[in-house]
Structure 1
Amino acid sequence: MNQLLNFIKVHTQLPEVSIKNTVELLNEDCTIPFISRYRKERTGNLDEVQIGDIVKFKEQFEALEKRKVAILKALEEQGVLTSELKQKIETTQDLTTLEDLYLPFKKSRKTKAETARKNGLEPLAKIIMSQNANDVESIAFKYVKGDINTVEEALEGARHIISEWINERTDVRNNIRQQLERFAMISTKVVKSKIDDEKAQKFRDYFEWEESLSRIPSHRLLAMLRAESEGVIKAKIDIDDEKALNKIEDRIIRSSNECAEQIQIAIKDAYKRLLLPSLSNEALQIAKAKADEAAISVFAKNLKQLLLGSPLGEKRVLAIDPGFVSGCKVVCLDAQGQLKYNETIYPHPPKNDVIGAMKKISSLTEAYQIEAIAIGNGTASRETEAFIRKIHFKNDIQVFVVSEAGASIYSASKIAREEFPNYDVTVRGSVSIGRRLQDPLAELVKIDAKSIGVGQYQHDVDQTNLQKSLDFVVENCVNAVGVNINTASKSLLSYVSGIGPKLAENIVAYRDETGAFTSRNAIKKVPRLGGKAFEQGAGFLRIKFASNPLDDSAVHPERYDLVKQMAKDLDKSVQDLIGNKEQLQKIDLKKYCTDTVGLPTLQDIISELEKPGLDIREQAKVFTFNQNIKTINDLQEGQLLPGIVNNITNFGCFVDVGIKESGLIHVSNLSDSFVSDVNAHVSLHQQIIVKVLEVDIPRKRIQLKLHK
């Protein structure tokens, strides 16, 4: 346990007591949302990100220990495990050093050194490495036998063994690593056959490129590696070979005789054949891992902002998936997102049934008492928005343009088929657009986060790490907002702390069979939902219109008695305290502190009682693009336009200005001062004003500047 705590402490710099208590809670099967919200006293008020770091380094430590056990077992079986080697392995704190220690004992494929050993040349290699012999060729002549026909073959075999010894030296490997870390350059050259390839032109910036590996931005490295994987370019890592060789020679060569000459040849061979290929690849993988981490971080931030996007709330919505030839798919949803009607209208070419379409939309808005219209932002979106705005509605109906990203993935998914078995993908897609307006979080959790399209190079980064990161974001967003257990889908419920897919399925099945839950206690009746799952999830599940008002709050059931005591001490009921700031301010929190309940928890309770079940998200706002801008050809330098941020990267952000192509605000155009974090200046789906700097119509690229 102490080794684990020290390992996590070194990597996180968090207090040891906080790490210890958090690890204990994790070992008790507590979830990150539960620990960060309801166990603040034990963790020292760590947030979900800090707890997530503890989880990450706990897993790293456990993987390291598992590898140590496997290596020790392998060495023991080979009969080469000394007490000194065992101690080195057991005290190693990183995987690279561990693998270096194991390298000389790996049972590798047939190598030149192994062949030389079988030919009896290891003694000759040892004589040369001793650097005491002078007439090396005479000594080597004794080994000319069997498969060795000449002195040169004997010396070459001995050098292969020496090369392997040099390659296995930890000090040599670390020295090359340091040089790669500080001085490595990555360079690229185009594959000649791809120079005029149209598909390769998107990578033409990297047809010939050179840059420091330690300074290359993550997006550029990932772009290069993608270009290489697609066969467009060849990339390589280089350092100063002469300097590297000199440093190895300084460590190994102690004489100036014939042995030194042989060792010098072996060093060059070891460097070019073994060390540089292996360690430059390792350096590239380390750089790739850092680039992955940066890209995944951007993706995670974007996803969080998207999931916590502004909901319209429980309003009746008419949703439109726009199109030209195939028409516009229209659905009407009730306030809970249930499908009530679907239809196809044809207001655009080639049919141009504008009058008929207007009449249909007007009658539907009246029949279903529609309060808002959601229009997908894909093909024919601008034309459909303009068409809708020409209709004179009897009531005030808000019109929103909604991102379609991932809607087609949802509409063809198993989840969509289960929800709407009798409708085709076009109807399901329209429903998804409408529900995204009502509650983006509840709808987007049904889609694989990687398909939502709010990151860059998501297919190029480590998929396991990406999935972990995105699941972490989704889980934290869902639990931060809270879930209405009586209306939530299986997908949404599965992300609630302690629930998971199987229990989510059981909750929905129980709800369908017995009706709505009337209290949090009733949740315990769900099959296979035990005490642990209830403890972890209850605080994040909401019961609307329950007899106990705390059931629709983030106050955990384990603290209900505490709230009752507070109300009793004020001679009030719990209901009297809800939303009553004046009474809540009278409570002396210190009076209720115990060994397990401290001020952080008590302050959370008071905040929740002031505004129980408050949605942390802002409400959706209507946004209108410049109606005169319909294509990239309508853009002119110097124009000021309204836009919506639709993607954020490390090098800037992309902005939807109401046309097919998104414009880029490069990081240098976000502010007049240096920008270290794009998210400090803009957020996903933020409504902003931009200035057009440059329009490249052939390449369909738009350069923008944030207008303050």
Structure 2
Amino acid sequence: MMLISYITSQTQLPQNSVENTVKLLNEDCTIPFISRYRKELTGNLDEVQIGEIVKFKEQFEALEKRRIAILKSLEEQEVLFEELRQKIEEARDLIALEDLYLPYKKKRKTKADTARENGLEPLAKIIMSQNATDVSSIALKYVKGEITSEEEALEGARHIIAEWINERTDIRNMLRNQLERFATISTKVVKKFEDDEKAQKFRDYFDWNEPLNRIPSHRLLAILRATSEGFIRQKIEIDDEKALYKIEERIIKSNDAASKQIKLAIEDSYKRLLFPALSNEALSAAKEKADESAINVFAKNLKQLLLGSPLGEKRVLAIDPGFRSGCKIVCLDAQGNLHHNETIFPHAPKNDTSTAMKKISSLADAHKIEAIAIGNGTASRETEQFVKRIQFKNAMQVFVVSEAGASIYSASKIARDEFPNYDVTVRGAVSIGRRLQDPLAELVKIDAKSIGVGQYQHDVDQSKLKSSLDTTVELCVNAVGVNINTASVPLLSYVSGIGPKLAENIVNYREENGAFNSREEIKNVPRLGGKAFEQAAGFLRIKNGENPLDDSSVHPESYAVVSKMAKDEGVKISELIGNKALLQKINLEKYISDKIGLPTLKDIIKELEKPGLDIREEAKVFTFNQNIKTINDLREGQLLPGIVNNITNFGAFVDIGIKESGLIHVSNLSDSFVKDVNKHVHLHQQIVVKVLDVDVERKRIQLKLHQLDTR
């Protein structure tokens, strides 16, 4: 089986596009580079389609690796006959491969192995032939050595038959089909945990039953977590009688003593071997599907968070709010550099409000502050209200910023390296301020899993989660582009073709030689070779450099064609950039060559019209309802402003300005059926919600989407 045909059969993408994409991947090209700068070769595939090719390429390679290992094992055992080899070479998935290998797989000593050692395999064959008229008398001939009775002989023969049945591919596939179509998953609470406080969050699953093929990912992951924590027991079930009948009709041909022994062997094989293994396989498949769904939700949320609205290069005063320990204040310049820090105590128990107001006012004047960022943790609402009472000399925008993961960053090696002389409270406040300036540049410093914008992220396959999130971060970073003269090592490390080590080398070179003046100068960075430059250059920006194209997404390999366009139009490149009327008159057909085609030329024109345009929306100030301070202030029917702070498959969580987030269940997002929550709301979107129900005891708030907030 060939790689290309495997990928095309799985993706339904054109063969030529797949072939060229695989070739580029084998040449160590990245997904962002291929999707942006190799459109002619891929047939204009986007990053999602290229990601699918990567996924199935890896699947195929894993399949081939296992196929080779199995063939080698069978050859060493000297059992690889031609028909078996052909079946193995034609197998299109790991399950089919493992079924073929099962009879030859080295395993712990089984009951069938013991029976064979006692010489009972011939008896098993006689029974399976279903030709013997007197099974009892034949069995007596095998009563010798370890076998002391007729029943022991028959039992041993049944163990061998049970193993044969277990190894039959057709029977295993039939049971897989039954499990796939009809399996249910049921749960029961462990008696001693019925009233346990920790178990109450799983109360919905104390007595539950649902078809396995229809269970939503979040529910299955919740059940599996409750099971692993010992609060409930779960089991997979199908109609056993129906399954046994379907096995019997494949094997039993008569109604005699031999068939009775076979029927007993079938029951044993089903209960002891087939059902335990295949029900676990079905549950694993359901878990894998649930993992994929949860990981996709996390990746979508992460993308929205990373592409959140930046304030841009403005001077910010950031506050990490608190009560007893005070509010930590930092002043940052437009590039996010720390210029000042101290602590104020405007809240209880000190209530030094007057001094705190004067301090913030004077700092805002001294550092020419343009915006204030307040973390959304403890004392956030009180701090926001306090700040809004200050009379600033100039108009001041006040933003509440998510603190998710800030504590992870502040205690990390990255933070210690950035601020070795400051404690975690200062680092946390700096992170809050920088998140307002540029969420992407700051959030890449935190392990994506710790940001907390998903569901059951600790329960899913961790390697798949990391791979998906790393890819998401990489795509976001490259979609926005990176200023090479201000970017941190973590941000640079996600640029196509760079990685952590080259990112360090870039920053070290920058510190030793000053700012980069051109993309060409990037080639001077130690160990940054031609391939890395090719992959990275188009995503690295140089502000006010020697060549105006260096602050655009036009790749250096296309500079010559832009120069030709400018020359043909009788203008300088700088005069061509931003001149939409002139750019739209250019006949692109004239510049097509064997190296550059129409898709790339169209991208170049689009970029030249608005060079360096940030794809992200601008940050907007948001204000919660000031009368709602705790869950006790909520009433059914209230309309409240809120911000979407998490999205799951079952709905969206909304921050309405109190400790507890409310849930808009998927059924309350629209009057029509909702297939994808993300098509109705997105992370950090400002909306208006209606309060449907408040459960103070369980701290649960049910909301309905009223309208998108257009303020």
If the length of structure 2 is used for normalisation, what is the TM-score? 0.99
**Is 2:646 the partner of 1:647?**
yes
**Is 2:307 the partner of 1:308?**
yes
Structure 1 partner of 2:107: 108
**1:622-653 deviations in whole A, cap 9, x for unaligned?**
00000000000011000000000000011110
Q: How does 1:576-595 map to 2 (within 5 A)?
A: 576-595=575-594
Structure 2 partner of 1:482: 481
**Is 2:359 the partner of 1:360?**
yes
**1:544-596 deviations in whole A, cap 9, x for unaligned?**
00121000000000000000000000111101101001111120001111123
Structure 2 partner of 1:166: 165
Q: Describe the SS at the equivalent of 1:513.
A: helix
Q: Describe the SS at the equivalent of 1:126.
A: helix
Q: Describe the SS at the equivalent of 1:342.
A: strand
Structure 2 partner of 1:466: 465
Q: 1:700 is aligned with what amino acid?
A: K
**Aligned-pair distance for 1:543?**
0.3
**Is 2:97 the partner of 1:98?**
yes
Q: 1:283 is aligned with what amino acid?
A: A
Structure 1 partner of 2:552: 553
Q: How does 1:102-501 map to 2 (within 5 A)?
A: 102-501=101-500
**Is 2:24 the partner of 1:25?**
yes
Structure 2 partner of 1:525: 524
Structure 2 partner of 1:539: 538
Q: Describe the SS at the equivalent of 1:55.
A: helix
C-alpha distance in 1, partners of 2:149/2:169?
33
C-alpha distance in 1, partners of 2:44/2:192?
59
Q: Describe the SS at the equivalent of 1:390.
A: coil
Q: Describe the SS at the equivalent of 2:329.
A: strand
Q: Describe the SS at the equivalent of 1:564.
A: helix
C-alpha distance in 2, partners of 1:284/1:481?
40
Q: 1:53 is aligned with what amino acid?
A: E
**1:297-319 deviations in whole A, cap 9, x for unaligned?**
11000000000000000000000
Q: How does 1:651-670 map to 2 (within 5 A)?
A: 651-670=650-669
Structure 1 partner of 2:45: 46
Question: Which deviates more, 400-409 or 593-602?
Answer: 593-602
C-alpha distance in 1, partners of 2:595/2:333?
45
Q: 1:37 is aligned with what amino acid?
A: R
Q: 1:670 is aligned with what amino acid?
A: L
Q: Describe the SS at the equivalent of 1:585.
A: helix
Structure 2 partner of 1:77: 76
C-alpha distance in 2, partners of 1:464/1:177?
27
**Is 2:630 the partner of 1:631?**
yes
C-alpha distance in 1, partners of 2:113/2:230?
35
Q: Describe the SS at the equivalent of 1:312.
A: coil
The runs of 4+ residues in structure 1 deviating greater than 3 Å are none
Unmatched tracts of structure 1, length 5 or more: none
**Aligned-pair distance for 1:180?**
0.2
Q: 2:4 is aligned with what amino acid?
A: L
C-alpha distance in 2, partners of 1:142/1:646?
75
Q: How does 1:555-570 map to 2 (within 5 A)?
A: 555-570=554-569
Structure 2 partner of 1:597: 596
C-alpha distance in 1, partners of 2:308/2:163?
58
**Aligned-pair distance for 1:10?**
1.0
C-alpha distance in 1, partners of 2:256/2:594?
76
Q: Describe the SS at the equivalent of 1:688.
A: strand
C-alpha distance in 1, partners of 2:701/2:195?
24
Structure 1 partner of 2:570: 571
**1:483-507 deviations in whole A, cap 9, x for unaligned?**
0000000000000000000000000
Q: Describe the SS at the equivalent of 1:332.
A: strand
Question: Which deviates more, 571-580 or 592-601?
Answer: 592-601
C-alpha distance in 1, partners of 2:349/2:584?
66
Structure 2 partner of 1:506: 505
C-alpha distance in 1, partners of 2:280/2:679?
35
**1:330-353 deviations in whole A, cap 9, x for unaligned?**
000000000000000000000000
C-alpha distance in 2, partners of 1:139/1:17?
65
Q: 1:300 is aligned with what amino acid?
A: A
C-alpha distance in 2, partners of 1:97/1:183?
21
**Aligned-pair distance for 1:358?**
0.5
**Aligned-pair distance for 1:193?**
1.1
Q: Describe the SS at the equivalent of 1:324.
A: coil
Structure 2 partner of 1:4: 3
Structure 2 partner of 1:671: 670
If the length of structure 1 is used for normalisation, what is the TM-score? 0.99
C-alpha distance in 1, partners of 2:149/2:123?
14
Q: 1:516 is aligned with what amino acid?
A: A
C-alpha distance in 2, partners of 1:176/1:582?
67
Q: 1:274 is aligned with what amino acid?
A: L
C-alpha distance in 2, partners of 1:122/1:502?
62
C-alpha distance in 1, partners of 2:367/2:142?
96
**Aligned-pair distance for 1:247?**
0.3
**Aligned-pair distance for 1:230?**
0.4
Q: 1:421 is aligned with what amino acid?
A: P
Q: Describe the SS at the equivalent of 1:214.
A: helix
Q: 1:102 is aligned with what amino acid?
A: Y
Q: Describe the SS at the equivalent of 1:682.
A: coil
Q: 2:566 is aligned with what amino acid?
A: A
Size of the aligned set, in residue pairs, is 707
**1:468-493 deviations in whole A, cap 9, x for unaligned?**
11011000000000000000000000
Q: Describe the SS at the equivalent of 1:707.
A: strand
C-alpha distance in 1, partners of 2:611/2:545?
13
C-alpha distance in 2, partners of 1:379/1:125?
72
Identity of aligned residues (%): 78
C-alpha distance in 2, partners of 1:248/1:326?
70
Q: 1:638 is aligned with what amino acid?
A: G
Q: 2:637 is aligned with what amino acid?
A: G
Q: 1:135 is aligned with what amino acid?
A: D
CA RMSD in angstroms comes to 0.6
Q: Describe the SS at the equivalent of 1:237.
A: strand
C-alpha distance in 2, partners of 1:271/1:586?
74
Structure 2 partner of 1:683: 682
